[in-house]
Amino acid sequence: MSTHQRAVEHIRQSYAELPGDASPRLSKATSNLFRFRDSGKTAKLSARELDEVISVDPVTMTAEVQGMTTYEHLVDATLPHGLMPYVVPQLKTITLGGAVTGLGIESTSFRDGLPHESVEELEILTGDGRVVIARDDNEHRDLFRTFPNSYGTLGYALRIKIKLRKVEPYVKLTHVKFTDADKCMLALQEICDSMEHDGEPVDFVDGVFFEPGELYITVGRFAERAPYTSDYTGMRIYYQSIRQRNRDWLTIRDYLWRWDTDWFWCSRAFGVQQSVVRSLMPRRWMRSDVYRRLVALDRKYGVVARIDRWRGQPVQESVIQDVEIPVERGAEFLEFFHDKVGMTPVWMCPLRASSRWPIYPMEPGKLYINFGFWGMVPLPRGQFDGYYNRLIENSVHELDGHKSLYSTSFYAREQFWQLYNGDAYWPVKQEYDPNGRMLDLYDKCVRGR
């Protein structure tokens, strides 16, 4: 903890010394955001000293973690104790601070909600330069409750105390195929309500939409023993296995990172799913953060766009989003998405919030389905960048859903503050960043400043 306190003092002092007319921006080793922006008038603030697990307490089943610690690092520290965070977002380099101030989700979210719902305490560097301890039961409660979905516009998480849950060594998976989206949504509702499938308790639930007549729900349950375990970190590809087998077994660690090796299915854009390429590529490179760096490089130099122009291909739009739709409207969203966008596969992950969190206002206890889709779509002739993303935004809110803000957004200012509860956000912003040192949520997530 003394090392942590030195790191806190260093970042606090560094923040105080930044130019007053520049917006602070955390400098960190990895990023899972897809709001690429020009640097503009920004000042980088190093967070590289804040990436450690401070302690794991197997008795109280809690961990104290620095804000820039990745879930990969945290899981490696907790699994030897037979413990894991309640919600482990699907990519190894998502940081705990990022998942709390943004939004993370995974296959335990049908029961355990979002990552911030298992947080007991936050140590935050606020916009006005203070370091405060925020909990749900102290004088900084409003900051604690408003911090999720604030994306570093109220402050930076320096230390997080998080609750942990017990695990077993293995996970037994069952892939259930559906040919009808309405029946698939009804089954998700039934499984998540009962927390059972075929008379067995369920610990994990997610699914994949491949096409209108081919959807799968994957249910997982902890197991002490396994007859075999599959390995999807080499030649075999996890998402393809869903279509090929109805039963599978993974170690708990491999289950938590089952999506990371191929960045769900997005590694195909780099040719990594071709057997020859895959056999030659070192395993240590088959990771989501490696692919993310390739995307950033292409964004900077425009290689793919140049090749497309040379080949006479239409201009493509980046469609990278996660949206939450009420389960009863899920089939409607899939029909819209397939007809108007046409990208496949689509990830499906059910979630319930246990209480109301002010600036991502989902109805507590209500089941939503997170639909995740990530890739490039050719633009129709005469249309411009933003065409598909605007269609999706309109559909999401027609269906009473919500959209995560880690990627591009196009909302008008007034609409944005209605959707993300400006009435709750602005009093907290004024309390902890009265001079507007940090960007506000609209400027950061929509205007991309």
One domain for residues 159 and 23:
yes
Q: Residue 359: which domain range?
A: 302-410
One domain for residues 51 and 92:
yes
Question: What's the rounded Cα separation, in Å, for the pair 212 and 198?
Answer: 25
Percentage of residues in the chain having pLDDT higher than 90: 82
Would you state the pLDDT for residue 291?
86
One domain for residues 361 and 404:
yes
Residue 177's H or E segment, with its range, is: strand 170-178
Side-chain-side CA neighbours of 113 within 13 Å: the count stands at 19
Question: What's the rounded Cα separation, in Å, for the pair 218 and 356?
Answer: 28
141: which 2 tokens? Answer: 């409660």
191: which 2 tokens? Answer: 């499984």
In a domain, 375, yes or no: yes
Question: What's the rounded Cα separation, in Å, for the pair 7 and 224?
Answer: 40
What are the tens digits of pLDDT across the range 409-422?
999 999 999 999 99
Would you state the pLDDT for residue 293?
86
Report which of 153, 144, 156, 134 is spatially closest to residue 429, judged by C-alpha positions. Answer: 153
Question: What's the rounded Cα separation, in Å, for the pair 240 and 195?
Answer: 26
One domain for residues 53 and 149:
yes
One domain for residues 130 and 252:
no
Question: What's the rounded Cα separation, in Å, for the pair 150 and 102?
Answer: 6
Would you state the pLDDT for residue 48?
79
In a domain, 196, yes or no: yes
In a domain, 419, yes or no: no
pLDDT interval class at 45 (50, 70, 90): confident
Q: CB neighbours (10 Å) of residue 211?
A: 11
Would you state the pLDDT for residue 416?
95
163: which 2 tokens? Answer: 């609750």
Please tell me the pTM assigned to this model: 0.93
Give the amino acid at 125: L
One domain for residues 112 and 244:
no
Lowest mean pLDDT, pick from 30-44, 103-117, 198-212: 30-44
What are the tens digits of pLDDT across the range 129-170?
999 999 999 999 999 999 999 999 999 999 999 999 999 999
Would you state the pLDDT for residue 352?
97
356: which 2 tokens? Answer: 């109301």
CATH of the domain at 336: 3.30.70.2520
Residue 386 has pLDDT above 90, yes or no: yes
Q: How far is CA 294 from the centre of its chain?
A: 19
One domain for residues 87 and 41:
yes
Total domain count, the chain:
3
Question: What's the rounded Cα separation, in Å, for the pair 429 and 155?
Answer: 9
Question: What's the rounded Cα separation, in Å, for the pair 379 and 395?
Answer: 18
Would you state the pLDDT for residue 19?
84
- Counted residue by residue, the chain has a size of 449
One domain for residues 39 and 153:
yes
- Which of 190, 223, 258 represents a domain boundary (last residue)? 258
Residue 312 has pLDDT above 90, yes or no: no
256: which 2 tokens? Answer: 């938590």
One domain for residues 110 and 125:
yes
